[in-house]
Amino acid sequence: MKIGLIGLGKMGLNLALNMRDHGQVPVGFDLAPTNLKTAATNGIATANDLAALLDQLPTPRTIWVMVPAGAATTSVINDLAAHLTSGDTVLDGGNSFYKDSVHHGAELAKHGVHFLDVGTSGGQAGARHNGNFMVGGDPAVFKTVAPLFQAIAAPDGYLYTGPVGSGHYLKMVHNGIEYGMMASIGEGFDVLQHGPYDYDNAAVAKVWNNGSVIRSWLMELAEDAFDGDANLDTIKGVMHASGEGRWTLDTALDQQVATPVIAMALMMRYRSLSDDTFTGKVVAALRNEFGGHAVEHE
């Protein structure tokens, strides 16, 4: 099918190439001229603005939005709401908060435009080959685009998840799990690093990837990272966060569901952003006050 693709960054370009390689016809648009140029160099048809993109699509039109979650996605959806007509379909493949997706779906519905919220997993590699997609929305609308997912997903790598919001809700929880799994892998290697034995991290990740209980894509990625930098000496342990872990935790707290692993993983990310903490200063000062215990000075 011919599909408009808004956002030709790290994920969007790979998705366009994946679509093209599997019999689909993407036409891309991006606000950044360099992204447009890179897409064109890679043989993807492009449009210089939204109107030109929509002109190139047969009606009813199908448009996949692949831009950063939050303000950027909302801005694109609002533009689309103003330009699309009844019967068109918008898919949001970004990491949008599911309540935003419910709102986007309702706004587009006012114009008769269908909306599917598509949780997209597998990183840049998955966007390029064998993607993973969790799709919420009207089941009849999903059916019309199911061949697209069949074409670009891994075998059994897409799922219709229920009404609008359910795709991104599922992706949010997926990312919460991702936080916990990565934190656990990181902590395990930290204990090895500080232990009495001189392990080769890449060799450990490799052996764990071959038959062990904890073999996984994340462990394969750890193997790749250690292969390139045996003790990760060239990078700092600063762990940024885009928001999905926090949304999972906020949601769990609302539901009074205990998710200590995800909570701690999120807090460790925040902790990693500071070299020192006021908490630490206060505890050190209190130990000093009551017990005369040593404090360290700047």
| Residues in contact with ligand 5RP by the rule CB under 6 A | 95, 121, 123, 175, 178, 240-242, 244-245
User: Catalytic: 171?
Assistant: yes
Given 10, 99, 143, 171, the catalytic residue: 171
Least distance in Å: CB of 240 to ligand 5RP?
6
Least distance in Å: CB of 292 to ligand 5RP?
42
Nearest position to ligand 5RP, beta carbon = 242
The backbone torsions φ and ψ at residue 207, rounded to the nearest 5 degrees and listed phi first, read -65, -35
C-alpha span between 76 and 5 (Å, rounded): 11
- Measured CA distances, 61 to 14, 57, 87, 160, 235 (Å): 21, 6, 8, 21, 44
Least distance in Å: CB of 257 to ligand 5RP?
20
Look up tokens 């606000």; give the residue: 31
The length of the chain, given as a count of residues? 298
Least distance in Å: CB of 97 to ligand 5RP?
12
C-alpha span between 210 and 127 (Å, rounded): 25
Between 95 and 201, CB nearer to ligand 5RP: 95
Report which of 29, 34, 30, 32 is spatially closest to residue 3, judged by C-alpha positions.
29
Between 77 and 262, CB nearer to ligand 5RP: 262
Between 100 and 244, CB nearer to ligand 5RP: 244
Amino acid residing at 37: K
C-alpha span between 241 and 121 (Å, rounded): 16
C-alpha span between 273 and 132 (Å, rounded): 31
C-alpha span between 272 and 274 (Å, rounded): 5
C-alpha span between 105 and 90 (Å, rounded): 9
Least distance in Å: CB of 275 to ligand 5RP?
21
Between 114 and 126, CB nearer to ligand 5RP: 126
Between 26 and 245, CB nearer to ligand 5RP: 245
117 forms beta bridges with 92, 136
C-alpha span between 270 and 83 (Å, rounded): 40
Query: SS3 for 114?
Result: strand
Between 73 and 95, CB nearer to ligand 5RP: 95
Least distance in Å: CB of 242 to ligand 5RP?
3
> Catalytic residue numbers?
171
